[in-house]
Amino acid sequence: MSSRRPFSIQELAARSRPTGYDASKSLKDLLRIATAERNAGDQAKDAGDVESAFIHYAKASTLMLEDLPTHPKFAELTSSQKDAVVVHGQAILDSLGAVKRLVSQRFSDWRTEHPDADLSAPVVQPQQPRRRQTQPTHQPRDTYEEARRAQQQKEARRLVEEQERRQRRAARDAGAYDQVAALTTRRDATAAPYDQVANITAARIREKARRAQQQKEPAALVESKNAANDGPRATQEPTTKSPPSPLAAMPLPPYQVANITAARIREKQDNRLEKEKLEELKRAQEARFWDTLLRSRSVPGPDSYRARLRPSRSNPNRHRLSHRSRPRLCRFRNHSTCARAATHWKRRTSVPFSPPDHPTADPTTDPDGSRAEVHRPGSRAEHRPSRPRTDLWRAKRECARCL
């Protein structure tokens, strides 16, 4: 270690002034100056000259973080360019912190070795412009460096104490903190869709639970009313139903009361319509029954009880005439009855039972006045009359022949 007293942090900070900032210069020129100071600091650090490296790093960091944000053209930069300036300035500041620890350790070691040494600052001598020398200089290099560094001692005392405060103030004035906040917002924006999906899902779950609760409340109210109406009967008959919910005592909203009333009205209307339909169907069945009964009495079939009581014809060849020469006579009393019997097959008839076809008169007399032979059955089963004729298809064919 050299016998010369090393410079303190305050002395080196003073020597880092001025930084070479000029508002009349362009931003590119100032960036070139800051980059050159940073490269010089890297070279001095590699060579082991930590004091020179500290000075170069201090100039570059002050120029990047304090001077450039105050430039009139700095506001015209894009957000990415401003972020790049802040990032480079922070990198230079980190290098300055590493060199600062080495300088402090070096100064502490020298004070430990020289406890009685004078710690006053060396005399500052004006820096003379370099001229071509024909003879070797009598001033050693260490003395020259001390004089050059002592020239900036007065201004550098403020750097270490107020450097962080200046950085925050300059960044706030120039909008650097706004850029950092924009970066943070941009980073959080990637997670915003997931938060929105989670919020929407939670809102849907809450809405579904609320609707389910609203649907349960009318049912609980109806159960409570039924329990109140069936109170005496409920006391007599054992039941396993659970007690009414406390929600039944809560007042219902007006729209739920209206819905319950409308549902009851619709139920009553449906019951009334169903009852009317059943009555109409019953009346239709009765009408079809009586219609079928009257037709069966007025138009007896060939196998009916009346047909068996009719006498046989004396001339069997009378019915063997051709259908062309046969007169168009209907077996029914008039043509309206024939037409009605011909079209009656289209209507569906449902006869729940067939009453016995008892004759109203004794048809034992032939139209020509002769007495017909009456068949006298021998058994009681033969006395039972046959069912009315319901072969509508045959009746239709017979009516078609008559036409």
Listing DSSP states for 139-157 in one string gives S-HHHHHHHHHHTTHHHHH
Q: Does 232 score more than 60 pLDDT?
A: no
The per-residue pLDDT for 389 is 58
**Residues in contact with 288: Cβ distance below 8 Å, sequence separation at least 6, in sequence order:** 347, 348, 349, 350, 351
321-331 pLDDT per residue, tens: 444 444 444 44
- The band of 274, judged by pLDDT with boundaries at 50, 70 and 90, is very high
359-397 pLDDT per residue, tens: 444 545 555 555 545 555 555 555 566 666 566 666 666
Q: Does 340 score more than 60 pLDDT?
A: no
The per-residue pLDDT for 228 is 60
Q: First-to-last CA distance in the chain?
A: 148
In the chain, what is the greatest distance between 2 CA atoms, to the nearest angstrom?
A: 186
The per-residue pLDDT for 111 is 79
Q: Does 198 score more than 90 pLDDT?
A: no
CA 5 to CA 145: how far, in whole Å?
A: 12
Q: Which of the two residues, 403 and 57, has the higher pLDDT score?
A: 57
Contact in structure between 39 and 88 (CB atoms under 8 Å)? no
Give residue for tokens 């960091």. Answer: 61
Q: Does 225 score more than 70 pLDDT?
A: no
Sorted by where each starts, the structural domains of the chain and their CATH numbers stand as: 9-120+139-189 (1.20.58), 275-310+323-402 (no CATH)
CA 301 to CA 304: how far, in whole Å?
A: 5
Q: Which of the two residues, 42 and 399, has the higher pLDDT score?
A: 42
Mean pLDDT for the chain? 69
Which of 82-96, 121-135, 234-248, 340-354 is most confident? 82-96
Q: Helix, strand, coil shares of the chain as percentages rounded to 5?
A: 65, 0, 35
DSSP-derived secondary structure letter, 20: -
Q: Which of 104-108, 176-180, 249-253 has the lowest mean pLDDT?
A: 176-180
The per-residue pLDDT for 277 is 93
Question: What percentage of the chain carries pLDDT values higher than 90?
Answer: 6
The per-residue pLDDT for 169 is 73
- The band of 131, judged by pLDDT with boundaries at 50, 70 and 90, is very low
The mean per-residue pLDDT over the stretch 107-126 comes to 64
The per-residue pLDDT for 145 is 58
CA 35 to CA 328: how far, in whole Å?
A: 130
The per-residue pLDDT for 231 is 52
Q: Which of the two residues, 10 and 374, has the higher pLDDT score?
A: 10
At 8, the amino acid letter reads: S
The mean per-residue pLDDT over the stretch 314-319 comes to 50
- The band of 196, judged by pLDDT with boundaries at 50, 70 and 90, is confident
CA 215 to CA 218: how far, in whole Å?
A: 6
Residues in the chain, overall count: 403
Q: Which of the two residues, 234 and 400, has the higher pLDDT score?
A: 400
58-82 pLDDT per residue, tens: 888 888 888 888 888 888 888 888 8
CA 382 to CA 89: how far, in whole Å?
A: 129
The per-residue pLDDT for 125 is 41
The per-residue pLDDT for 157 is 58
255-267 pLDDT per residue, tens: 788 888 889 999 9
Q: Which of the two residues, 351 and 227, has the higher pLDDT score?
A: 227
Contact in structure between 60 and 41 (CB atoms under 8 Å)? yes
Give residue for tokens 């729940």. Answer: 352
